[in-house]
């Protein structure tokens, strides 16, 4: 992570016991016929050189259940303080932290191994939904302060992004771990939409900056801000 004027508050990441704050940051591989995924491209550019922060980077297959198993295996090994999953939401204009993950797979397209579950519960013994435990409104405010587009999202869809967010929160809940977790959707990057008419996109450096600001907001806000993040429809 680049330590500069917009994330200087990261000095607050020091724990009382002097240990680093450990963040597991995940990104999906390309899917749906795409050859690139902005989540991976951004993940590769995030700098680990910060004294009080340790970021563990993980590329996750865009595959139902295998994605959850990949992340929970690293959760078990590394015991991070925060799990922040990143995914592409082609067609969105903003960087959007997700509010909630629902216990439902309903895939419009196949995943990268040809699976296409329809109207299927992710876990029979899971809650109907799990809410993000990261401060989603603080993330939006922090990103907006840098003049980047960001809003709260109230639906992570019903594909592998929602599936992974739900699976991670389910796993943390079932194991009673003291970890924060959530999901951040990012738009296409500019290079992906050169031949797509009227598709919104952001430059890759702005996507990277938005993710870094999200990490800062998570680190610096133990509870979320009390501000509106709702929509009319």
- Active-site residue identified among 41, 94, 98, 212: 98
Examine the residue annotation and report whether 220 is marked as an active-site residue of this protein.
no
**Alpha carbons 81 and 41: distance in angstroms, whole number:** 24
64 class by beta-carbon count within 10 Å (0-12 exposed, 13-18 middle, 19+ buried): buried
Residues composing the chain: 233
Residue 146: which residues within 8 A CB-CB, separation 6 or more?
A: 6, 209, 210, 213
- Give the phi and the psi of residue 18 in degrees, each rounded to 5: 85, 0
Q: Pick the catalytic residue: 85, 94, 163, 185?
A: 185
Q: Which of 85, 161, 212, 216 is catalytic?
A: 161
Confirm whether 175 is a catalytic residue: no
Q: Which residues contact 204 (CB under 8 A, 6 or more apart)?
A: 38, 41, 42, 45, 189, 190, 191
78 has catalytic annotation: no
Active site residues: 98, 161, 185
């Amino acid at each position: 992570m680049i330590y500069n004027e917009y994330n200087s508050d990261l000095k607050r990441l020091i724990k009382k016991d002097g240990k680093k704050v450990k963040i597991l940051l995940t990104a999906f591989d390309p899917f749906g016929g795409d050859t690139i995924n902005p989540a991976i491209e951004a993940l590769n550019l995030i700098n680990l050189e910060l004294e009080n922060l340790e970021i563990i980077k993980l590329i996750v297959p865009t595959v139902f259940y295998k994605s959850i198993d990949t992340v929970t295996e690293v959760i078990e090994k590394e015991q991070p303080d925060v799990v922040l999953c990143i995914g592409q939401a082609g067609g969105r204009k903003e960087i959007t932290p997700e509010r909630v993950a629902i216990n439902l797979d309903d895939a419009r397209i196949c995943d990268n191994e040809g699976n296409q579950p329809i109207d299927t519960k992710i876990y029979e013994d899971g809650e109907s939904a799990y809410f993000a435990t990261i401060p989603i409104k603080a993330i939006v405010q922090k990103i907006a302060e840098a003049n980047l587009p960001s809003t709260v999202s109230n639906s992570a869809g019903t594909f592998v992004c929602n599936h992974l967010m739900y699976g991670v929160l389910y796993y943390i809940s079932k194991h009673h771990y003291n970890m924060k977790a959530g999901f951040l959707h990012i738009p296409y990057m500019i290079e992906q939409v050169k031949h797509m008419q009227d598709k919104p996109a952001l430059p890759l450096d702005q996507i990277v900056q938005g993710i870094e600001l999200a990490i800062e907001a998570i680190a610096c806000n133990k509870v979320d801000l009390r501000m509106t993040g709702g929509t009319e429809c």
